[in-house]
Amino acid sequence: MAAFTFNQYKPMIKFAENLLRKLQEEITRISTAETAAAPKLKLILQAVRSALKQLRTYIQEHPFPRVQDEIDFFKRVKPRFDALRIYYLGKYDLDIRMPAGDTETLKAFYREELRVVQRFFRHVGFYHQYYRLGTTELDGLYFVRGAEAPGVLLPELPDQDPGFSTACDYLFAKIIAFERLQEDLLRALSTLDPAHLTGMEAEAELPALKWTGDKVNLVEVIYALYFTGQLNHGNADLSLIIRFMEKHLEIDLSRAYRDFIDIRNRKVSSPSRYIDQMRESIHKRVDDDLAFKVPRKNNTKSGGYG
């Protein structure tokens, strides 16, 4: 039997990309032609279901040449279809619940919805980082049909068709959709409150800081900040913290997930080795300061500065 090659997967990719393009064009047409929210949502969901049905039929008739191709399909291709359904359901929910009121009322609404989205990202922080960083170590468990992923680590997901789903393809779709909803909420909030973006000009006046220590030490700090909920009242998701550090400390953290696996698997030293060193350094400095402190002499003169 002749070996399969990547060229045999290309027609499937081309079919999926053309199908997605047509679906997006149909959604644009529906959104333009239909103004009422409920009928618009119904037509969009029908279009997404039709596209997914065609996609499912295609992969049934054209088996994946390699496991790598199956992984790519369920990690990168199918979630983009499911994400459209999740996004438009979420958008409809926001539209029908949007309160009538003044600017402050709307701002409070958008901020609360933003917190809901951020709580979701925090809840699935491990998988969100896996998605954002393009990590591959667990792809064989997450994106191969029938593979048994460690269920204790997975959030609760709806029942899926076992012939057309994997442990994490729906979760990736939800992450894609929620990132888009987050962008919508931030855009709406910035329109109502442009001042929330101020401070960037002042930031530009500050001298640049660059992380010059060991990269794994910064990763340890990032995870500590995340696990203890120190940022955004505990609502900052892991990938956001990583991107913030990358931007402001001028460092590539694309391997942060792999570095944390190394930290977690340390056999000899503590998984919080750098934080332990920080604590010891602070204690030493405090002890040195206390030891160096000169006892105050009794002053018999009146007027404390004489």
Closest-CA residue to 111 (of 180, 196, 37, 174): 196
User: Measured between alpha carbons, how far is 228 from 11 in angstroms, rounded to an integer?
Assistant: 47
**Mean predicted confidence (pLDDT) in 125-149:** 89
- For residue 197, with 0-12 CB atoms within 10 Å meaning exposed, 13-18 middle and 19 or more buried, which class applies? exposed
Closest-CA residue to 237 (of 136, 115, 134, 104): 115
**C-beta separation of 242 from 195 below 8 A:** no
Phi, psi of 210 (to 5 degrees): -130, 130
Tokens of 205: 């006046």
pLDDT tens, residue by residue, 53-102: 999 999 999 999 999 999 999 999 999 999 999 999 999 999 999 998 88
User: Measured between alpha carbons, how far is 141 from 135 in angstroms, rounded to an integer?
Assistant: 13
pLDDT computed for residue 265 by the predictor: 81
Closest-CA residue to 165 (of 79, 237, 277): 79
**C-beta separation of 229 from 182 below 8 A:** no
pLDDT tens, residue by residue, 9-65: 789 999 999 999 999 999 999 988 888 999 999 999 999 999 999 999 999 999 999
**Mean predicted confidence (pLDDT) in 160-179:** 93
pLDDT computed for residue 86 by the predictor: 96
pLDDT tens, residue by residue, 227-248: 888 887 776 778 788 888 988 8
The yes-or-no verdict on residue 169 having pLDDT over 90 is yes
- 0.85 exceeded by pTM: no
Tokens of 237: 């998701």
**231: alpha, beta or left? (left if phi > 0; alpha if psi -120 to 50):** beta
The yes-or-no verdict on residue 115 having pLDDT over 80 is yes
pLDDT computed for residue 155 by the predictor: 66
pLDDT computed for residue 293 by the predictor: 56
pLDDT computed for residue 286 by the predictor: 83
* Alpha carbon separation from 217 to 175, 250, 263, 292 (Å, rounded): 28, 15, 10, 31
pLDDT tens, residue by residue, 256-300: 878 888 888 886 778 888 888 898 888 888 877 777 655 544 444
